[in-house]
A and B are shown apart, each in its own frame.
Chain A
């Protein structure tokens, strides 16, 4: 009985240890914090996952989401991206009663949330990945 259990569990142990390592590497790669910091870092923000210097346009590392955050090719957007692939008004993130929603503003090439195309409005939470063209953002809700 013990022998059998021990033999089965040895594979499980190796699996858990590697999954642990893999998760940590992935989190380090995405550069997010693994522990809830309570009120130490309040506020939600979008963090750019692409390397800034690999992109041909000016972007900053992260954008706070306060009320409304818009992304598009037009100057009026908070995040302006001069890329023909991006629509004039591409998407926006709205805060409504402590919840955050991602709305695609009828873009021609689409907005993807965790790999799925956003058709209308979806609620987003901590750790969600938003993809527009070649740009990837991670949504982090610090509160």
Chain B
């Protein structure tokens, strides 16, 4: 028996979730409550409610992706605020900027039509950002992947990630003149491998994995020469083994993945604390404010999944995984519906970024795969992560609208 369908139900549920969790947070920090706490509460609810409303008014495209992401953001920001109120407040500001950038990216995709003809620009921007990182980079948590501009730290690899998707989309779905160059695909592979090599030098293993994942996925779907897929896989295997032998920081990740327990006091500390936290939480968690997420280093960032699992239970953790699966599913669906080849690859690439990134970090903190430092998109604390994830989402939203095939070669 089917009951009548309420089409506004998800928005209401989101609203209810925010109200309840925020009131709990209020109670949690009752003594030290500041006006800022009210700011975060009112700000979060209004921001999310109005941007959902606005999006429904202006966009004819997909309307699930933003809703799903709003839920992820709400879970994340509440957890971050509970771990550290200061960071929570900062995250809210990043979120506001992120949503502004979401709309900016959406309009840029909607109204600008020559994205597929900018291949050289994408190359220049990517290499430029790498050069900038190597020159001005500072080392945090073992990786040189941050640059500081006017007091604000940004992670250029986050931006390069999106540029890479544009580059691949422009190559496979845009102007044909680049594909007609002799051995064009091999050249493209060399370019991508140079990116991955540079990331390796910066010790940013997580980003290197994402770059490899996006490239392999899109190559698998769109390449004309099937042998290149095998070449790519072979090179990756050789590169992985070589990296393990040559670099200590790769070796550490693998050792602590296989058996962290002998190193519980030093290099295995993070991962073991993460496992303790998840098991402490059980099915429903200890309850917000009743766990010890501060025991895990970087619990507000890379390890936010463990912190959420501790206080809100593995059921919420599974919920987060399901939300990501839905997001990626919607992204693929958008790609299937899009007739324009360039925008189709763009949508596919962006969904793959979300999928691969969340898989790598969630797998890492669960000790399913070797741990590599990455943020969980939309959930983790981090300015450049939140802003670039929202830019990527804005692009996905933009590609969800139908476009003509006019003026663009179909490969």
Contact = CB atoms under 8 A, between A and B. Distances in A.
B7 A114 contact: no
Interface stretch (B91-99, B170-178, B251-259, B312-320): B312-320
B8 A30 contact: no
B313 A10 contact: yes
Contacts of A27: 5, 7, 10, 64
B56 A7 contact: no
Interface stretch (B17-25, B239-247, B271-279): B17-25
B322 interface: yes
B342 to A, nearest CB: 25
A36 B284 CA distance: 35
A24 B326 contact: yes
A18 B315 contact: yes
A136 to B, nearest CB: 8
A35 interface: yes
Interface string A3-39: 1011101111110111111011111101011111110
A40 B60 contact: yes
Q: Is the interface of B mostly helix, strand, loop or mixed?
A: helix
* Size category of the binding interface on chain B: 35 or more
A33 B7 contact: yes
Contacts of A23: 9-10, 13
Contact of A34 (B2, B7, B75, B326): B7
Contacts of A3: 287, 290
B1 A24 contact: no
A21 B326 contact: yes
A115 interface: yes
B220 to A, nearest CB: 26
Contact of A127 (B4, B20, B75, B315): B4
Q: Is the interface of A mostly helix, strand, loop or mixed?
A: helix
Nearest to A15: B315
Contact of B319 (A11, A21, A25, A37): A21
B118 interface: no
A130 B349 CA distance: 39
* Size category of the binding interface on chain A: 35 or more
B288 A30 contact: no
Contact of A14 (B3, B14, B316): B316
A129 B5 contact: yes
A103 interface: no
A25 B326 contact: yes
Contact of B2 (A20, A24, A33, A129): A129
Contacts of B1: 114-115
A128 B3 CA distance: 8
Nearest to B27: A2
B287 A9 contact: yes
B216 interface: no
Contacts of B17: 13, 16-17, 20
B323 interface: yes
Contacts of A35: 7-8, 11, 52-53, 55-56, 63
B221 interface: no
A13 B315 CA distance: 10
10 contacts: A6-B287, A9-B288, A10-B287, A13-B312, A21-B319, A28-B330, A34-B63, A34-B64, A35-B55, A114-B1
